[in-house]
Amino acid sequence: MTFNRAAFTTNTAIGWLLKASLLVLGVALLAPPESLVRVGFAWMKQNPAGASALLTTVVLATLLAAYYRSKTLRVNISDLVIDFEVGTLVRKRQRIKLADIRNIKSHANLIEQKLSAATLKLETVGTGGVDMTLPQLNAEDAEELRQRLSPRGNDDEDLIQAA
């Protein structure tokens, strides 16, 4: 099973940049007129080349950080559990028993569709939401994994045949 690095890097970088821009916008709107934030925006108006260089540096650094994060993705599936791990500085690790999986949803946003990727969301017994998200898998691998992990005994075909 392989992750689509291009889709993961793009989605992660876009998410980080959107959050950062909302933060900057909020700070700029709430900052007093003589604050350092307003001085910075005045500098950007006077120096468009410097502002462009700064923006380009921020975007490239974000893409590089997202690409590095994509290289830390790990998924291990055994007969009993599925382990998901991502990150080096901030590590996220999840483990779910295969027997507890009750629902698997596949989702692909516009970027994932263009790059032939999909995200799987796994739901388990006793929770009201998604317990594990496997981001930006190759579309074929995501479908194969969804079929492999689909809950046993909960298939609609089994229920129809039993009736």
What is the structure's pLDDT at 163? Answer: 40
**Is pLDDT of 65 > 80?**
yes
| Phi/psi at 86 (5° precision) | -150, 145
What is the structure's pLDDT at 37? Answer: 81
What is the structure's pLDDT at 58? Answer: 93
What is the structure's pLDDT at 87? Answer: 86
pTM, 2 dp: 0.74
pLDDT tens for residues 116-150? 999 999 888 876 667 888 999 999 988 888 888 87
Report residue 34 as tokens: 């003589």
